[in-house]
Amino acid sequence: MLYYTILEFSRAAQTTPRTIRFYIKKELLKSEYDKTRNITVLSEKEFITLQIIDLLKSAHFTLKEIKFILENNNFKERLTLQKNILLKQIAQNHAMLEMIEHIENSSEDSPQDYLKLYHHHLKDHHYKQQFLDTSPLDIRIRFHERYNTIKPEWFLWLFEQYQFNAHDCVLEVACGQGTLWRKNQKMIPPDISITLTDLSDKMIASCMDLLSFPQIKEVKTADVHHLPFPDNTFNIVIANHLFMYFNDLDHVLKEIARVLKPNGRLYASTISQYHNLELESLLKQFNARANMGQKQLTDQFSLENGEEKLSYYFKNIRQTKRQIPYLIDDPEMLSQYIYSTRWIGNIQEILDDRYNDFKSFVEKELLKHGCFKTTNYSGQFIATVKK
């Protein structure tokens, strides 16, 4: 291995000897003492460390944070957290710009309304961002698959309730990775035609292999607010855990009703206002300000208020539901699951800088109690379009 004096190292790295000495003093770079030459030297591998330091500084990490990353070898994990912070800032900036543009084009002057408008745009951007990447949804699916102790599992339970007729045209909006159809591949009737849409290009890319299923005819990126289909196209529309995210739910329901044929059916799953309340209690033990945003979601669309929301465009509405206790024994999986919901409530704000602290807290709680109990309370609405 080659060794360099501080002067030689600084010249090769195109920086100053003062900077190198500073990083050595802060224990960011590791130096050695060469007894034969009576001088401080650095090994060639420290060039890589210096590059990492510069990269993290450009991403606005403090020297204290950089030292922690270097010592704990969690460079990738910390960069992912920084990415999420930047995405949140981007969402806030976009929401602010849209609010300002609205102000510029409006003759009204009500700051209170502008604040509401800002939060409206911010929520829309957070919804889009949480599904830009497939990994948060992957985490949540694995979590439910592990701790759902009642059979059939969720996607099979949903599928059992679908009623397909020969030659039905079926649309699933916000299809994610197409898990519903993967889990039930052998149960899909051979004579129906299925279209899958999602707002996220990454989700759609993960579904392209489903075109090998003979029933799945189309997989495309589409916004449920503006579905690219003519009126009266589909016999069935499926929307799983979607409606709770929209401020303008009425517009979304109207659009879904538009593409449904007369007597077409909607299958829409959602959660209860009592869903996983224990998780929020756990979070509040860690930080009293923590808010998973569940009330915000269930106020929009839940098992308790969904029938009323659907009734403007749908009839013959009925509800099925499941209440399943989860006994969670894996602190890593529980921590990841909670953080995967970071775009809702203030989870990102609370945990971004203290995620490792939170994992340690969860580990201690599980060690103390053996396991953590929470209740998965969700269900599905089945309704017929009013046409």
Residues 180-202, mean pLDDT to the nearest whole number: 95
Specify the 3-state DSSP secondary structure of 326.
strand
Predicted pLDDT at 94: 67
pLDDT band at 62 (very low <50, low <70, confident <90, very high): confident
Q: Cα(first)–Cα(last) distance of the chain, in Å?
A: 78
Residue 251 · residue 224 · CB < 8 Å: no
pLDDT tier at 92 (50, 70, 90 boundaries)? low
- Which residues partner with 189 through β-bridges? none
CA torsion 268→273→274→276, rounded to 10°? 70
Average confidence (pLDDT) over 73-99: 65
Residue 330 is classified by DSSP as: -
Give the mean model confidence (pLDDT) for residues 281-296.
Answer: 89
Contact partners, residue 248, CB within 8 Å, separation at least 6: 225
10 Å Cβ neighbour count for 118? 17
> Do 241 and 269 touch, CB atoms closer than 8 A?
yes
Tokens representing residue 63 in the block = 């020297």
Q: Which residues of 135-162 are buried (b: 16+ CB within 10 A; e: fewer)?
A: ebbbbbbebbeebbeeeeebbebbbeeb
pLDDT in tens, 330-362: 999 999 999 888 777 788 778 877 888 899 999
Tokens 């915000």 appear where? 296
Q: Are 362 and 335 in contact (CB under 8 A)?
A: yes
Q: pLDDT tens across 5-56, in order? A: 999 999 999 999 999 999 999 999 999 988 888 999 999 888 888 888 887 7
The widest CA-to-CA distance across the chain, in whole angstroms, is 91
Give the pLDDT of residue 178.
96
Contacts of 276 (CB under 8 A, 6+ apart): 292, 294, 374, 375, 376, 377
- What was the pLDDT predicted at 54? 84
Cα–Cα distances (Å) from 173 to 69, 91, 211, 235, 315, in that order, read 40, 23, 16, 14, 20
Q: Let me know: does 306 contact 251? Beta carbons within 8 Å.
A: no
Identify the bridge partners of residue 380 per DSSP, sorted by sequence position: 269, 320
- Which of 100-109, 127-136, 303-312 bottoms out in mean pLDDT, i.e. has the lowest? 127-136
Cα–Cα dist 162/280, whole Å: 33
The predicted structure's pLDDT at residue 312: 96
Res 117: pLDDT: 62
Which of these, 150, 145, 155, lies nearest to 175 by C-alpha position? 155
Each residue's pLDDT tens digit, 204-260 = 999 999 999 999 999 999 999 999 999 999 999 999 999 998 888 999 999 999 999
Enumerate the H helices of the chain as residue ranges: 6-13, 17-25, 46-58, 63-72, 75-104, 111-130, 135-147, 154-161, 179-183, 201-207, 249-259, 277-286, 294-300, 306-310, 331-339, 347-351, 355-369
**Span 259-285, average pLDDT:** 95
Element (H, E) at 379: strand 372-385
Q: What is the distance between the alpha carbons of residues 164 and 224, in angstroms, rounded to a whole number? A: 22
Give the chain's length.
Answer: 387
Residue 293: the pLDDT is 83
